[in-house]
Structure 1
Amino acid sequence: MKRKVPHRDELLDYNYAVAGHAGTLCDANGELFIKPCTQAEIDFYNSVVRGSDFAGIIPTFIGGLEHSDPFDLNINDPVETLKDQIKATIAEHVSHASAEMTAAAAPNDDTPWVPTNGKKIETNLAVALDNAASGFKKPNILDVKLGMRLWADNAPAAKKARFDKIASETTHLTHGFRIAGMRVYRGSDDPARLDDEGYLVYDKDYGRVTMNKDNIIDGFRRFVFNPAAGIDEALGRAVCKMFADKIAHVYKVIDKLETRMYSSSLLFVFEGDGEALRAAIEQQDESKTDLETKLANRTTTRTDSGIAMGGDSERAEMAGGDEDDDASRTTTRTDSGIAVGDDSERAEVADGDEDDDDGVGLDGDDGVGLDHDAGVRLNDNDVVGLNKGPQVLSLKLIDFAHAEWTPKQGPDKNLLFGVGELKKIFEELSK
């Protein structure tokens, strides 16, 4: 079912971000997420091949937005087409969110650098993404900042020094990651420690000060295992096993790519209400069984259409992926657009500095396309009809302000080290 793009008065401050800069927005249903970003992040999203393995482990990119003359629109003027409505609505929100910002100059060693400390970044740009927390009743959200090194090659000297200090004093040094922030539903028995929605919020000091190489596994245990919310040991171990499998898939995908991503994160989301989590697992199991039955009854043999089914990919994959995986493959399938996986978990929240974050969703409009010159890129398959049922969990790689493709330089070992350590932790917690 198509969903009308919300009016400016219907957009809200996004209050589920656990790390990153201020200024993020979402719609009332929590399906649309807009955050300030840099041009480099928009460029990176635009460079990702749709349907590729990598596209499946990052948030769905809906479009890049720019506050400039083409967006100097009056929301009260008559809107004659859906195209005009999308332009006016999203552009004015980005304008409103970044009214106090100015375009940032490219950093260099001669430019004074001042930490943002989670405040709005200087930018006239924003990115719209699929919202990580959409479809969950009580989403538990964890942002894990990846890497032993956090700065890109072109970072100012002061930024390099500050980030090196953070890395040396935290689990970045020993594990290649740090807990950047986290929200846990009913994460404390003391009501005074919970926010208005019943969440215990862990800020950036939790990962920087409280966590160390000796107790880091306990931080993740607090994220998942929570009897007060109905998540007992057995259910918690099942969640950890699903996350471990997801992390293994992320590792496999990144290991085949030649990229460098500094200060990127893995965003973990799962249903934090135990009763809702069990119901979501049961419903997805039933949906999977029903779908597999239909597929078995309508199978058609195809050889190399470029669409893969099953495993951890949990999505349709287009041709042009790994030749070793796709060459000479024969698969029995029924419907060219359906991918059958273990769980149809969803998600994601990202941004550019060391303290940045993503996440978004917009219900379907078939074939909506806006001119690139207008500053909004919304093409076929970028705006996806979600119509999601209850969600179990999701894992997405986010924050690409300092990401680039690096041909002939091999995989990103700096990033992969942290991903591998996370896999070990969730495997241990699943036992």
Structure 2
Amino acid sequence: MAKALPTRADLVAYQQGVAGHDGTLCDVDGELFIKPCTPAEVAFYESSLATHQDFAEFMPTFLGTLTLDEQQNGQTIEEVGAALIAKHTIPDVLGATKSSKKIVTDQAVVLENAAHGFVKPNILDVKLGVRLWADDAHQDKKTRFDKVTEETTHKDLGFRIAGMRVWQGAKAVGKDIDADGYKIYDKNYGRFDLHNGNVHEAFKNFIFAESAGVDEELGKLVAQAFHADVCRIQEVLEGQESVMFSSSLLFVFEGDGVALRSAMEEASRSPATLQNDDGDVSSEEDEDEDTSPKIYSVKVIDFAHAKWTPGMGPDENSLVGVRSVANILKDLGSV
């Protein structure tokens, strides 16, 4: 069914981000994610879809691009964006309004929101890499990022927790818990609270939340599902030649234990098995949007400094982190 035409107020700031992506937008239903981007990121999406479909399976669904401009026939970003969302089509130009958020690029990438469709989405952003800067980075950026590597789990494990939000239950209150019952772990959590010896606790905190109904049984199933997909991502990256500086693994799963168990039980009754939700599952007989309850999703995101590099070998810099994450998930999912 076509979406109803939103009003000007229906294009809003994205509220579910966990790793500080400033200036991102979504529609009021949260189906689309609009993020300022570089031409290199657009090129990576397009080339991945054209020639690296096995990797594109683990990217957010790419819908197109917007060109940001100071003014488009007097329309605001909300007005033009509302039309975009209503039609699910991509215009050539999107007008930009003045705001406290500075737009540092004249382009935006339009993606399907990986967190849409969950009752209570738990979200974890894992920044990949030992080296975090691309070849064209200024020296001050290289120095700053090398300091981050030296002082965090990037150095030995090839990743750090960039941020996460975990639902604690409808009546949860306390430190770092927001009005919706989510415990927020900001970027400082991964920078200053975690080290090689306790970083596995972050994944445990993310997956297992007794107060939200995600008990040991459910949590182990989620960890096993995550592990299977991360291993698949590892396999794909090992078989291709690329570089992806400061890309991330984005984990999402149903944080409401009751809804999670129900979704798993429904999946077990259908021909489909517990699998990564890629947002494009459909029936040949029925092109309507799939309405099965969401269980989990694993995506690779953030490609501002990514490119395919034929003849240069696999991206071992990112793979260090992917392998480390896979090992932690394997342990958490062990029976």
Q: CA deviation at 1:90?
A: 8.1
More displaced stretch, 32-41 vs 190-199:
190-199
Partners of 1:227 and 1:81 in 2: how far apart? 40
**Match of 1:258?**
241
Match 2:276 to one of 337, 342, 345: 345
Contact 1:271–1:393 (CA under 8 A) maintained in structure 2: yes
**Match of 1:275?**
258
**Match of 2:302?**
399
Contact 1:267–1:395 (CA under 8 A) maintained in structure 2: yes
SS of residue paired to 1:275: helix
Say yes or no: does 1:22 pair with 2:22. Answer: yes
Partners of 1:60 and 1:424 in 2: how far apart? 27
Look up the equivalent residue of 2:61 and give its one-letter code. Answer: T
Q: CA deviation at 1:71?
A: 4.2
Summarize the Cα distance change of 1:281–1:82 in structure 2 as closer, same or farther, 3 Å threshold: closer
**Which structure 2 residues correspond to residues 275-424 of structure 1 after superposition, within 5 A?**
275-288=258-271, 342-346=273-277, 386-424=289-327
Say yes or no: does 1:198 pair with 2:129. Answer: no
Look up the equivalent residue of 1:414 and give its one-letter code. Answer: N
Partners of 1:165 and 1:72 in 2: how far apart? 46
Say yes or no: does 1:160 pair with 2:161. Answer: no
Contact 1:181–1:206 (CA under 8 A) maintained in structure 2: yes
SS of residue paired to 1:134: coil
**Match of 2:128?**
146
Look up the equivalent residue of 1:410 and give its one-letter code. Answer: G
- Provide Cα deviations, 1:372-416, integer angstroms capped at 9, x if missing partner: xxxxxxxxxxxx964332100000000000001111000000011
Partners of 1:175 and 1:242 in 2: how far apart? 21
Number of equivalences: 325
Look up the equivalent residue of 1:61 and give its one-letter code. Answer: F
Partners of 1:269 and 1:133 in 2: how far apart? 6
Look up the equivalent residue of 1:422 and give its one-letter code. Answer: V
Q: CA deviation at 1:429?
A: 0.5
More displaced stretch, 44-53 vs 241-250:
44-53
Q: CA deviation at 1:87?
A: 5.5
Q: CA deviation at 1:172?
A: 0.2
Q: TM-score, normalised by structure 2?
A: 0.88
- Provide Cα deviations, 1:231-262, integer angstroms capped at 9, x if missing partner: 11111111101111010011011111110000
Partners of 2:84 and 2:21 in 1: how far apart? 33
Q: TM-score, normalised by structure 1?
A: 0.69
Summarize the Cα distance change of 1:69–1:399 in structure 2 as closer, same or farther, 3 Å threshold: same
**Match of 1:91?**
94
Look up the equivalent residue of 1:393 and give its one-letter code. Answer: Y
Q: CA deviation at 1:40?
A: 1.3
Look up the equivalent residue of 2:19 and give its one-letter code. Answer: A
Contact 1:74–1:88 (CA under 8 A) maintained in structure 2: no
Identical-residue share of aligned pairs (%): 46
Bigger CA radius of gyration = 1
SS of residue paired to 2:322: helix
Partners of 2:200 and 2:193 in 1: how far apart? 12
Q: CA deviation at 1:286?
A: 1.9
Summarize the Cα distance change of 1:7–1:81 in structure 2 as closer, same or farther, 3 Å threshold: same
Look up the equivalent residue of 1:55 and give its one-letter code. Answer: A
Summarize the Cα distance change of 1:139–1:89 in structure 2 as closer, same or farther, 3 Å threshold: farther
Look up the equivalent residue of 1:251 and give its one-letter code. Answer: Q
SS of residue paired to 2:264: helix
Contact 1:18–1:180 (CA under 8 A) maintained in structure 2: yes
Summarize the Cα distance change of 1:7–1:126 in structure 2 as closer, same or farther, 3 Å threshold: farther
Partners of 1:235 and 1:427 in 2: how far apart? 15
**Match of 1:325?**
none
Larger proportion of strand: 2
Partners of 2:226 and 2:87 in 1: how far apart? 41
Summarize the Cα distance change of 1:46–1:73 in structure 2 as closer, same or farther, 3 Å threshold: farther
SS of residue paired to 1:414: helix
Say yes or no: does 1:130 pair with 2:112. Answer: yes
Contact 2:69–2:93 (CA under 8 A) maintained in structure 1: no
Summarize the Cα distance change of 1:71–1:259 in structure 2 as closer, same or farther, 3 Å threshold: farther
Partners of 2:229 and 2:333 in 1: how far apart? 13
**Match of 2:159?**
177
- Provide Cα deviations, 1:331-364, integer angstroms capped at 9, x if missing partner: xxxxxxxxx6x324326xxxxxxxxxxxxx89x9
Contact 1:65–1:125 (CA under 8 A) maintained in structure 2: yes
Partners of 1:233 and 1:414 in 2: how far apart? 33
Partners of 2:121 and 2:83 in 1: how far apart? 37
Look up the equivalent residue of 1:401 and give its one-letter code. Answer: A
Contact 2:122–2:254 (CA under 8 A) maintained in structure 1: yes
SS of residue paired to 2:184: strand
Summarize the Cα distance change of 1:286–1:205 in structure 2 as closer, same or farther, 3 Å threshold: same
Partners of 2:251 and 2:298 in 1: how far apart? 5
